[in-house]
């Protein structure tokens, strides 16, 4: 086959791409795989999907890569298990409750307390009063967040 000639069989195309016929057969099933036997189209397809590396790798290289990936996943699982993992539903419920508490706190501070705390004060005094209100809000929020974490871990652990 000359440089310009296109392969006429799957075996010839696989050889031109330096792939096994089995790999080529599997790649043909992938979405977006070229229809014909054009070597350049196939090279572009395998390169775009990163298949050329796998097609040219030795069995030992592929096994080593698979083993590295399994080790990576096992380590990630171990890291998750070492820490307190909280169920997604528990987090949703706790965040909903925390949001409701924060809404009530802000309403209390801004709608109920603010007018009476600011009555008759000048701008500098209003700034000081605003900072005090923010500190009070932070204190309550931080206390609730700490409680939230403890409650969430307990709820996730189950009975």
Query: Where does residue 55 fall: left (phi above 0), alpha (psi -120 to 50 degrees), or beta otherwise?
Result: alpha
- Of 3-7, 63-67, 126-130, the one with minimum mean pLDDT is 3-7
Summarised one tens digit per residue, pLDDT across range 47-81 is 887 776 555 556 676 677 778 888 988 888 887 77
pLDDT for res 58? 63
The string of pLDDT tens digits covering residues 8-18 is 888 988 888 88
Cβ-contact 113, 133 below 8 angstroms: yes
The answer for residues whose C-beta is within 8 angstroms of residue 17's C-beta and 6 or more apart is 24, 39, 42, 43, 46, 52, 55
Report pTM: 0.39
pLDDT tens-place string over residues 93-112:
888 888 888 888 888 888 88
């Amino acid at each position: 086959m000359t440089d310009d000639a296109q392969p006429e069989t799957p075996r010839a195309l696989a050889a031109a791409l330096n792939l096994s016929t089995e790999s080529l057969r599997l790649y043909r099933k992938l979405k977006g795989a070229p229809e014909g036997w054009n070597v350049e189209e196939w090279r572009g397809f395998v390169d775009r999907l990163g298949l050329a590396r796998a097609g040219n790798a030795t069995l030992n290289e592929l096994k080593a890569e698979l083993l590295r990936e399994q080790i990576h996943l096992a380590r990630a699982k171990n890291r998750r298990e070492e820490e307190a993992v909280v169920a997604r539903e528990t987090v949703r419920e706790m965040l909903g409750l925390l949001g409701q508490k924060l809404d009530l706190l802000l309403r209390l501070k801004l709608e109920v307390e603010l007018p009476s705390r600011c009555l008759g004060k000048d701008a500098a005094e209003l700034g000081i009063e605003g900072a005090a209100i923010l500190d009070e809000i932070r204190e309550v929020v931080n206390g609730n967040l700490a409680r939230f974490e403890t409650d969430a871990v307990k709820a996730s652990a189950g009975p």
